[in-house]
Each structure stands twice: as structure tokens, then as C-alpha cells.
Amino acid sequence: MLQNARAVPLNLQHIDVPKGANAVESKTIKIGNTIVTIHSSLVNMSPDQIQEWFDEAVKQGDPVAHSLVTAVSNIATAKDQP
């Protein structure tokens, strides 16, 4: 056993995912050697519906939606800089 090894506590939160008729929609895509599964009702929405959903979520103060908008904005801004 390693003498310098230490345990790092993880504060994982359980997320209850409903099954059956109430299940969240998902979409699986492959990017290179990575398989990504997105669990969201947004995956089957049109771009206009997604924009409307984000606008409403940000207006209502949804912190997750706000974080996503901020991240995308930061990426777009970084691409514009030389």
C-alpha cells in the first residue's frame, strides 16, 4: 500500500432519472473516439425552440442556463481574438 496515498472525498449528488413515459429524452453522438450521450428534452427541439427555452430560462434566473450561455459566449469571444 502506498504511504503517501490519500482519499479524496467526493460530494456526489444523486440525480433521480425517471423511467418510462416521464423519461428524459437522450441523444448519443460520436466525436472522434469519444461517445457523448446528452440527456435533455432540448435534443429534439428546433434551434428556434432551443433559443426560446434558453431566453426564458435565463430571464427566470436559472443558474445552469446562465452558466451555459456564459460559457458559449466566452468560447465565441475567444475565437474572435487573434
CB 39 within 8 A of CB 17: yes
Which residues of the chain carry a pLDDT beneath 50?
1
Residue 41: predicted pLDDT: 80
How many angstroms separate the CA atoms of 1 and 73, rounded? 46
Residue 59: predicted pLDDT: 92
Residue 3: predicted pLDDT: 62
Residue 8: predicted pLDDT: 62
Residue 9: predicted pLDDT: 65
Residues 6+ apart with CB under 8 A from 39: 17, 24, 25, 26
Residue 12: predicted pLDDT: 62
- Cell for 47? 434551434
